[in-house]
Amino acid sequence: MDNEDLYQVLGVARDASYADIRKVYRTLSLQNHPDRNKNPEATERQKKINDAWAVLGDADRRRDYDAQLLREKNAVTSQRDAWEDLFSRKPKPAAQSPFWQTCRDEPAEKQDPSSDNSFRDFFMDLDGISSNPNVRAERCKTAQRIMAEKPEFVRSAVKEILFAVASKGHEPAVGALVGTLLDVAADAIEPEHFREFVRGVSSRPAFPKMFEAKFSLACDIARRRPDLPGEASEEILDALSRHTDVAAAKDLFGLLLQTPEKISPEAFRNFVRDETDSEKLAFARDMAEKNNALASGAAKEIAELFRSFSDAPEITELGSILAEAAPEKIEPKDFTKILDSIRLSEPPETRARQCELAQHILSKRPDLTRTAFDALTMTAFLLPDDPAVQNLYAFCRKASSPGSGIRADAPKPG
């Protein structure tokens, strides 16, 4: 983008949260959309806005971009200082030497930050310090000593410390920084810090063992600060969706379940909607059992799942939670999808379970009886020997007939 500052393109601060950046991006996109803005320059502005969002809206690319900005800043500073030294012939005070640069040039026993700013820079540039993990380990031990001695530095560098751990936390010495952070300044970890950390761990490419180590560190933070998982429900569910094969990611989900009331309804809907499999269905069921409101806010998504996972017992359990918690949320077209799954199911036991669910829904929503009768007609014809299907069909036919005790046109509850 011709070296344009992406933060300036969107008009946000460099420490802006993901939510703030997304909000600004959506606002600018609406303002510069061709259907709303006929200015010829709007198209070019929109392209720049999209390019900026593509980087700043992705945790992994944003970290790389921030590190690049830091390297460019330090390179300019070093060049300026070199010219000043050349012409003034005065030795540069040690206090002006960035900590990360000192780590490159000095042995471990001489490493010491000159300010909290340079201390933050060290963690942001930890990737670039050395390609040798042993060198990083030595310097991280020095950083730990400084963290213990100067907690005020730690409080001002929480974001940068977690950035380093998200990148290299699978290395024991880097991962150990989390323990020191929790001992010195656990209360300084803000929800946005934790959200960015989980997002970074989840999105950065790594081997399974690396993910295991990093998610374990996220669990350490969540155990010390049980208020944080609920504030990062969207990021945790996204991580679980990507890494169901990582045990520590499941452990982090378990910690989230300790505060189910904080799970975002939107995050739950996205989780259910996003390429769900039977294992994810079990996770969704666990969330809905602990917070029924999540199921009521995702009635459409849950009904859609019946077509793909008609044989999974977890989907029937999820439907039962919905029927009990918020039957008024079930629309006729969604109920039709649930009924269609009966015909798609193979084992008679599964069909019996789904017919029982349909009967339960009808007990709460008699206004859906006519919908059920119409939807079950073909199923009853194709499965004449299935007692569960025939009994449900007979019930709907009787309830839909004139003079029955059940009003098929009864209003929806609520």
- Whether residue 250 is predicted with pLDDT greater than 60 in this model: the reply is yes
The reported pLDDT for the residue numbered 129 is 58
- 47 within domain boundaries: yes
The reported pLDDT for the residue numbered 406 is 46
The answer to whether 126 touches 167, Cβ cutoff 8 Å, is: yes
| CA atoms of 3 and 21, how far apart (whole Å) | 20
- 15 within domain boundaries: yes
Please say which residue of 56, 90, 124 terminates a domain.
90
| CA atoms of 359 and 354, how far apart (whole Å) | 9
- 389 within domain boundaries: yes
Number of domains in the chain: 2
- 201 within domain boundaries: no
Contacts of 192 (CB under 8 A, 6+ apart): 17, 18
The answer to whether 319 touches 288, Cβ cutoff 8 Å, is: no
- Whether residue 210 is predicted with pLDDT greater than 80 in this model: the reply is yes
The 10s digit of each residue's pLDDT in 125-146 is: 676 555 678 888 888 888 888 8
Contacts of 402 (CB under 8 A, 6+ apart): none
- Whether residue 390 is predicted with pLDDT greater than 90 in this model: the reply is yes
Q: How many helices (H) and strands (E) does the chain have?
A: 25, 0
What average pLDDT score do residues 37-42 get? 81
Contacts of 185 (CB under 8 A, 6+ apart): 151, 154, 155, 158
Please say which residue of 90, 117, 138 terminates a domain.
90
pLDDT band at 2 (very low <50, low <70, confident <90, very high): low
- Whether residue 361 is predicted with pLDDT greater than 90 in this model: the reply is yes
pLDDT band at 368 (very low <50, low <70, confident <90, very high): very high
- 193 within domain boundaries: no
Find the CATH number of the domain harbouring 36: 1.10.287.110
What average pLDDT score do residues 297-310 get? 87
Q: Sign of dihedral through CA atoms 267, 286, 277, 309?
A: negative
Q: Sign of dihedral through CA atoms 89, 94, 95, 100?
A: positive
The 10s digit of each residue's pLDDT in 95-134 is: 333 444 444 444 434 444 445 567 777 787 676 555 678 8
- 71 within domain boundaries: yes
The 10s digit of each residue's pLDDT in 157-209 is: 899 899 889 988 899 999 999 999 999 999 999 999 999 999 989 877 667 88
Please say which residue of 63, 90, 117 terminates a domain.
90
What average pLDDT score do residues 204-216 get? 85
The reported pLDDT for the residue numbered 385 is 93
- Whether residue 321 is predicted with pLDDT greater than 80 in this model: the reply is yes
- 279 within domain boundaries: yes
**Domain limits for position 12:** 1-90
Return the closest-CA partner of residue 197 out of 65, 71, 60.
60
The reported pLDDT for the residue numbered 31 is 85
| CA atoms of 63 and 56, how far apart (whole Å) | 9
Rounded (10°) angle between helices 208-224 and 247-256 = 20
- 277 within domain boundaries: yes
- Of residues 134 and 380, the one with the higher pLDDT is 380
The 10s digit of each residue's pLDDT in 217-240 is: 999 999 999 999 999 999 999 999
pTM, full prediction: 0.68
